[in-house]
Structure formats: C-alpha cells, structure tokens
Chains A and B, each alone.
Chain A
Amino acid sequence: MADDNKDKKATSEQKVGVYVCHCGGNISDHVAVEEVCKNAEKIPGVVKVQNDVFMCSDPGQELIMEDIKNGTVDRVVVASCAPDLHSSTFRNAIQRAGGNPYIYEHANIREQVSWVHHGDQATNKATRLVAAAAAKARELQPLEPFKVDAKRHVTVIGGGIAGLKSALDLARKGLDVALIDKSPFLGGWTAKWDRAFPTDDPVSELVTALAGEVLNSEKITVYTCSRITAFEGFIGNFKLTLTQAPPESDAYEDEIKRLSDSGKGFGEFVPLAGICPAGIPETTTTHDIETGAIVLATGFLPYAPRYGEYRYGESKEVITLPELIRIMAENRQKGVGDTLEINDRKIRSVAMIHCVGSRQIPGIHEPDAKGNLNEYCSRTCCSATLHAASMIRNNHPKTRVFDFYRDIRTYGRGQEELYEEASDSKVVFFRFEADAPPEVTRNTGSGDFPLNIKVKDTLTFDEELEMPVDLVVLAVGMEPGNISDLVEMMKLPVGVDGFLQEVHPKLRPVEIAQSGVLLAGTCQAPFDMGETCSAASGAAAKASAILGKGYVELDPFVAEVDLNKCLGTGTCVNACIVEGALSLVEMDVDGEKVKRAQVNPALCTGCGACVAVCPENAINVKGWTLKQYEDMVDMIVSDRILPSQTA
C-alpha cells in the first residue's frame, strides 16, 4: 500500500509528450500548428512537442515510439482527428514501443476545431484542448484489462428446443453443459405438437434430432425434474444449487401416462409428451454446480382462455388450437375419415378464431385477475391456425372451416403459401375488428349444431353473418412461462409484456443487464421453432465467446476505492446502479476493524454514479477520474498558456 502512495505522488513528475497532426492541411489550413506547438511547450508537465503532416502514418507513429523507447516521455497526447478513428492506432504504437496503452489521451482538433472553426480562434481553441488533454494525461495511470478466471461450463435452464439447441451448440464447442428441465421430459412444447408449419416436419424427428445428440454427448449432463433453488456469483463464476425431486402428484400426469402406454423406453420419443431421458426420481437430491454462464430457455405457456371467453369451459365444443392439434394427431394414428371426428362426434363445420389472448387493447379487452393485458402479437398462431385449417380440409374434405381473423400474419418463409393453400382448399375467411369480435352462442335454431357464431365481417362491407358450427377452435397465443422463482432469485429483468427483457433488441439481443446470463427463445418473446433455434444458437455464440478462453477479460475502466480517503459512509453503495458491484466490507486498517467500500470489478460498469456522491472523493473510475475533469476545466479557463485578451 505504501508503494501505491508513492506512485500517486509521482503524478506531478509525469513526462507528457504532445504530438500535433497537420492532417495534410485538414488541420493546418485552419489551425496554426506551429503556434499550437509553441504554446504547448508552456503546458505544465509537457516535456516534448512534435508535429507531423500525418501523425497516423508510420513516420508519425515512429516519432511517438522513439520518445517512449528512450524514456523521454511516459504520457502521450495526440492532437488530431476524432478519437474513434485513430486512438487504437496510437495505443498500438505505444504498446509496440513497450508502453502501456492507457497512458494515452487524445485532443480532437479536426472534427471539433479545424472543420468547424477558422482563423485565430481555431488555433486558440486547439491550444486549450491540447492543454486540457495534457492535464488529463498527467493523471493517467497504466491499466491492465481486468481478468477473472471463468468456468468453461454453461448451465442451460429449460429442455425445450431452445435449451436443447443451446446445449448442443455449446457441447460441440467443447464446453461442459448442465441442461436442466423441471419436467421429466425433454422437448418442451415442441414435443406436444404434431407437425411443424410450414415445412410439415414431424416434431418427433425435430426433437429426436436434437435430444438424441444431447443424450449422447459426453459434455452434457441432463437433469430432469430439477429446479434451481439457489443462485449466487457473477460472470465466469456462478454457483447454483439444483434440487431434483419427484414431480408433484398431478404434474405431468398425461405425459407420464403416454410414456407408460406407449411402451417406449427412456431416450425414445413419446408422441405428445417428449423424450424421458432417465425416468422419474424417487427421492429428492441436491446438486451444486459451478458454472461460467447461464442460458435461460424457460419457454412459454399457451394462453389459457378464461371461463366463458368465446364460451370456453361452458361448452365442450369450444377447444384451443393446441387441443385440436393433439386430437388430430391421435386421430391420424387411428386413421382418418372424410369428416373430422372428435370423441366420436362428427364435425361438419369448425370455426377457428384468431388472436385469443393476444393483441389485447386497453379499453376494449378486459385485463386478467392481475390486471395484465396481452397487448403483443403471439407471432405463431396465424400460421399454426392456417396449417391446421388446411390439414382439416385436406384430410377431412367434408368438414368445412371458417376462419375469423383480424390480420393474417403469415410473415415467414413459406407461410404466405400456407395462407394461399388454405384459401385454395376453400377455408372461408371472415375479418373482424378488435372491438367487434365474433360471438359464440348456443344454437337454438336450425339443425342439430350445438353452437352458433356471429360476426360483423369487414371483408363483406360489415355485413352481419351468422353460421351454425360443431366446433370452435381458439387460436391461443403465448404467455410468459411461470418463472417467478427464477426472476426473484436471479433478479431477472421482466418487460411490460411479462417476458424477459433483453438489454437492447439490436445491440445486445440475447443478453440481459446481468453479464453472463443469456436469453434463448420464447422466454424473451413469442417465436416460431426456427426463430427459437436461431436465438438459442445466438445465445450459445455469446456464451462461447465469453468462456472460450477460460478467463473473462473485462474493461479496466471500473471504479476504484482510495482506502486512504474512504470513511465507509456507504453513500456510494446506495448510489450504485448495479446490484452487487459495490459493497461495504469489514477490513483491518491500522489495527482497527472498519468498514470500507469495495468494488467488484466483474460487475462494475464504470458509470461513475458512485463518484458523484462520495463526500471524500474516495472513489473514482479508473482512467476517468473527477480530478482529471477538474484539471481539464482549469486548463480551459487558464490564462497561463494563452493570455486572455482584453475584449
């Protein structure tokens, strides 16, 4: 610690070199470079001033490298174009000369001087900017990128296709993976469909392709019937506790029954259930996992219609699309007739209603018990509905299909064709407005149809149309999965729509604010299978970039506590915007136990929120200290370098 102090005191002796660029006239046509150089010699701490037509050229860089090598300067200021263009050039040059790249500061005298100002005033402003940069440079310290060891291990939470795909990508990359699912099965919701739209791929093949390789991989450990029950740590070094327990009595009843009825073994695909890798545990066990990154692939839940919504629950003839898909898949195993049959009931006509539990509008739709509205579009239901509609028409030509929609959103590759196929196969379309949804009533009129559906059809000039039907199918949307335990434990960000919230949809689409925790698939938003797998691979790419080297290299621009000044007030801890980046710890100072602030550089983002509130200025962001800014302002207002003119 004593040595540290010595270093800091040496500040006033730093030897600053100033290098001014002409930029081939771009600067020197408006700024008198010679004059800037002459004035720069008067700047405190400046020991050498040079200029060149092109500082960024090899001869220009040589000037800097020479001065570093022979010890003439140990801080560098280059006055040239905008720093984002060439600061890496100059930092590299310093490094090649054996210096630390962070002893460099930039004065922007092209974009912010010669290109916007002219004449004497431009020269004076350039001089002041150089003086300010030199003042900052005197306070620069050599920095090293911060490295933390990272476990080459990733935990993937969720065994649907997103989790399977992520796990597989990571294992192929050579990382160890723990794949966790709360159910006894792998395959998630995908395993509970029949065929994927628009390709018609049987889901059994899709799930088997992914899960088969997962189960064969030596790199992947699969934990079914498991939940995360404890979580701590940070990027590269998370610690998780996993609790594996027999499922509660009624949970997964249907799937477990399908498994035993199917006569299939562990690791084999069971239609409408998934792949059970290793049976069901009889006792509760816990496992501690040390892991470097976490991929959240917790998926979605189909929207459950409320009792009475389009008569759902009131009439057994009203079902959801997932229910229809399952019934049709089972029917196909039995063989199909020219009329769709459900529980031995012939379905002569079916009404399919879109946007159930999606695209809800405040003021029109009623919020749920918690006050939520699903204002988003669920993205997949239009195509899934049309896929099912065409399947009915193709397999059961005597069953008529009426389709009630708001907008048909067959956006993806091959999906517009689905729409066309449905039209060609004589599916009849009706379009309704959000505030005038179709009305489902009990049929008391003609025929022996159980239900009636009435709609104001905007395709036919708002005509009121009414038709009797045997079945109503609700195209339910997606809702966020129930992961409130994880959200609370891991402090996961949840968006207004209830799905997990990425940092930025374009800049960092699979990352959340907490470094090392990644999003894969429908825990983030509704996606179809292909999109889910893309997101899963994208998350895997991020995880392997993070953990590939076995250590995580972090930005050195993090907060640093000056223990000589810190009084342990804790103000900084309260002001910190990143949970866990700053804390008060007990330590020994001169034989006394005291509390002092401590930075966790793995979590600190270097925003400086702590700097502003410390009454002692005992905390600063490395390379960007408050003193540096104060010194820069001093140089800007100083009349030492440039005598102030009497106006």
Chain B
Amino acid sequence: MSTEKIEFDALVVGGGIAGLQAALDLADQDFKVAIVEKDASIGGKMIRLSKVFPTLDCASCITTPKMSAAAHHPNVTSFTYCELQTLKKTGGEITARVTQKPRFVDEIKCIGCRQCEYNCPVYVPDEEQGGFAARKAIYIPFSNAIPQVALMDVENCTLCGKCAKVCPTQAVDYFQKPRDFTLTAKTVVIATGFELTPLRDKQQYGYGEIENVITALQMERLLAPHGPYNRVIRPSDGMEPDSIAFIQCAGSRDKSMGVSYCSRVCCMYAIKQAMLLSGAVPMADIAIYYMDIRAFGKGYEQFFQNAKAMGVEFIKGKVATIDPGENGTVKLQYEVQGAQGGVTTAEHDLVVLSLGMVAGWNPENACSVGTGSDAFIKTIQPKIAPTLTDMEGVFVAGVAAGPKDIVDTIVEAGAAAMEASNYLTRLTRKLAA
C-alpha cells in the first residue's frame, strides 16, 4: 500500500462552514492549511439550506463565496471524500492518517462536464434533495459542489459501462481503491459538525411510516430556489398543503431520545420556514407547536415577532403522538397549555419535525480528544477560551463543540483559528529558542 506524507501547518477536520472559516482565517495569516472533508464536496450542511435566518438571504450565496475562497486560496488544500482515521501527536507534530474513499472517478482527470451523469440510465433517490428528486448512479453531488468531480454510487451502479464510454477524459475508473495517506500538521481544528437527531427510537413520531411527516432538512429542500419540485407539495399525493405544522423539540430537550440539551437552531429555522411557507403557499395555515421559543440571537426576537404578526400560529404544547389520518392527513395529539388545558388532537396536511442536532463525529478511536456527556467535543475553558480541547494543540469550532447557529459558528471558527495561530506562533518560538 502506497502512503504519501504531506506537510501542513494546520489541519482542519471538516469542510463545512466552521471548517472553511477556520481554514480561511488561518490561511490569511499565512499558514498552510489542509481541510479533510468526509463528503464529496466541501460546504457542509449549510450549502444544503434554502434561506437563512434572520436576514433571509440565500444560504448558497453566503456559502459559495467561502467555498470558492477556500478552493482558490494558495494556502489551502482540500481533501474531499476522505475519512480521518487517527490523529497522533509526537512532540510538536501531529500526524493524521486519512483514507480517501473511492469515487470510481479520477479526480484529476474529471472536468465536471456531467456527460457520465446525463448518460447513466440508473435513477436513485437524491439524498441532497431530501429524497424527493432522483439522481443518477454516477453524479456530481449537487450543482455548486466543490470540487466539480463526479462520483459513482457503486451500490446502485449496474456496470453498464455507458459513463466510461462517454467520458471525454477517460476519468471513470471502476477499479479505484481506497487510498491511504498521511498528513502532518502542528495544530488541528476539529469542525466536524452535526447530524440530525435520529428518530429511530421515537416511534410515537411515526417517522418513516407516515408519509406526510418530513424532517426540517427535507422542508429546506422543498423551499430552496433550486429544490426538487419548484414548489411546496406534500410527498404522498403531490397536494399543496392547506395546513402545515412544525413540531419543535423533536429530538431535543427530550431525555427519552438521549438528547437532553437544546439544539439552539430549531426554533429559528422553524420560524424561518414558516415565513418562507407563507410566501410559497400563501393560503396555508401554519402552526408551530413549541415548549419555549428560543429566539436569542441578534435580530432573532424581532424575527419571531414578525412571524407572529404575519399570522403564523404558535401553540404552546408538547406533541405526544403523531398518527396517520384520513386522506393523507396527519393527526397530532398534544397537551395544551393555556386557556382550556387538557389533551387535544389536531389534523394537518403536512407535518415537519424540527429535529435537533447530535454530534457528527466521535473522536474515541481516532485520538485522545475527550467528549462531554452530550457527546460533543469537550472544551476545557468554555468561558474564556471556548475552543480549547483537552488535547494540546487541538482546537474545536462550531457545532462540533455543541449545537450552534451559523452566525455563532462562524464567529467561533474565527476564534479557533486565532487560538491555533497563536499555538503555532508559540511553537515556532519554542523551537527557535
């Protein structure tokens, strides 16, 4: 097995908005930075969103410039579709073992022309579009992906050979193998982000069984300007919903799901989606079932009050069960707080689960960085140096250190870059002395 060794000043684990910002802030201070990203494109979760609160500007318009700045920065090298295996520290040097997963497409030869994609006969539900649209078995992950390099989904490929035939650069390689390589750096920023709370343990929310119950990330795709249908319809029958409900704290502040903490973003994204929906389906009634509305960031409370003024209904109550109703409707049972009290039921055409965040990466088998009881990376001085982990020279940014919205994530990424930069400066001085 061939292993190469490549040297950098800093390694950023994760190429989402936190990782990109940290990498750019380090690169701008003239450090050589490597980004290791597990997905086939940098951009993380943010590039998948429609519009972002509280400014309602389009997520892509904010993320793409940072993606492209990182891609073109002379001090930044991105390694996409790569898994970090281990991080080992010896003296002042940190060695990362990385495995690049096979794309079955030569990333140097591929020019991103998509001929393979157009000619592939296989259709697979596209997870980038919430499963609502189809993609091919060989495809560019999404329109503004960086790099614009195709990858093959071998699970679904029928080996028909069409893609290899039409590729103008002979980039398709059915025999590509995982490639191991080693990176060295002096400091590391962990920016591994999050996944949505899995619902497998929450049968009362009926996930997977009730067709018109979707996740908030799926709603993002329905609302995105380049989304799957170009309008908001419910999955079961393509009907434009007349009544839409959001269920808050679905997977947060809920010990039965193992997630006792608040995920910080769900109130705001639900309010944002509700506002976007009142533009997309102006006749629909929109209700948000909540425990507490946590609109705490700059301009957020005003955003919440605007939504209220626009007619979005806020119902304080914890939804207990979700069941399929007649003709594709969804039945909710919830405990009312307020005037009459008691347990009430309601029916909606479409129900959105405002899922929370769980840690995106567990460092347990890779390095000695510790985690908190919430499974996010532990920080040792949360009040005055919030990005310090318990492994010297390793810093953390964004949701990897606990749920956070985009604004807080970007600021924290700048902070992690500063701490890492100072660590590098200190190290150089020590070596010089």
Residue positions of A touching B, CB distance < 8 A: 23-26, 53-54, 56, 84-85, 88, 161, 165, 169, 172-174, 196, 199, 201, 206, 209-210, 358-359, 361, 375-377, 379, 407-417, 420, 431, 458-462, 497, 499, 504-507, 509-510, 524-525, 529-531, 533-542, 544-545, 548-549
Contacts and interface: CB of A to CB of B under 8 A. Distances in A.
Interface centre among A415, A537, A541, A544 (most CB of B within 10 A): A541
B298 A505 contact: yes
B113 A25 contact: yes
B325 interface: no
A375 B386 contact: no
A543 to B, nearest CB: 9
Interface in B370-400: 372, 374, 376, 382-387
A26 B115 contact: yes
Given A509-B410, A509-B411, 13 more contacts: A377-B300, A377-B301, A413-B401, A416-B261, A461-B341, A506-B62, A525-B298, A529-B383, A531-B386, A531-B411, A541-B29, A541-B414, A545-B29
Contacts of B374: 413
Contact of B412 (A410, A431, A534): A534
Interface string B307-345: 000000000100000000000000000000111110000
Interface string B211-249: 000000000000000000000000000000000000000
Given A54-B111, A509-B411, A84 B68 contact: yes
Interface of B: 25, 28-30, 52, 54-55, 62, 65, 68, 72, 111, 113, 115, 148, 168-169, 253, 260-262, 264, 292-302, 305, 316, 337-341, 372, 374, 376, 382-387, 401-402, 406-408, 410-419, 421-422, 425-426
Given A544-B421, A548-B29, A530 B382 contact: yes
Contact of B301 (A26, A165, A359): A359
Nearest to A374: B301
Interface centre among B52, B382, B402, B411 (most CB of A within 10 A): B411
Nearest to A460: B341
B384 A24 contact: no
A539 B305 CA distance: 31
B411 A535 contact: yes
A506 B410 contact: yes
A522 B422 CA distance: 24
B376 A458 contact: no
A201 B417 contact: no
A537 B415 contact: yes
Given A26-B113, A529-B384, A172 B294 contact: no
A239 B235 CA distance: 62
B300 A173 contact: no
Nearest to A377: B301
Contacts, number: 189
Nearest to B293: A407
A593 B111 CA distance: 59
A200 to B, nearest CB: 10
B413 to A, nearest CB: 8
Contacts of A26: 111, 113, 115, 168
28 contacts: A56-B111, A165-B384, A172-B422, A173-B418, A201-B383, A359-B301, A409-B294, A409-B296, A412-B264, A412-B402, A413-B402, A415-B262, A420-B260, A461-B339, A497-B299, A499-B298, A505-B55, A506-B406, A509-B407, A510-B411, A530-B382, A531-B408, A534-B386, A534-B411, A537-B385, A541-B29, A541-B417, A545-B28
A196 B384 CA distance: 11
Nearest to B339: A462
A379 B383 CA distance: 15
A379 B296 contact: yes
Given A25-B113, A530-B382, A534-B411, A173 B422 contact: yes
Contacts of A379: 296-297
Contacts of B337: 431, 458-459, 461
Contacts of B302: 375-376, 497
Contacts of A361: 305
A544 B29 contact: yes
A458 B382 contact: no
A181 to B, nearest CB: 18
Contacts of B316: 458
Contacts of A531: 386, 408, 411
A545 B68 CA distance: 19
Interface centre among B68, B402, B410, B422 (most CB of A within 10 A): B422
Contacts of A537: 385, 387, 414-416, 418-419
B383 A173 contact: no
Contact of B415 (A84, A505, A534): A534
Nearest to A209: B384
B376 A377 contact: no
Contact of A524 (B65, B292, B298, B408): B298
A530 B383 contact: yes
B261 to A, nearest CB: 5
Contacts of A504: 55, 62
B111 A24 contact: yes
B113 A24 contact: yes
A379 B407 CA distance: 14
B338 A461 contact: yes
Contacts of A539: 414
A17 B169 CA distance: 26
**Top 8 closest A-B pairs, CB basis?**
A24-B168, A538-B414, A537-B415, A525-B298, A545-B28, A407-B292, A541-B418, A413-B402
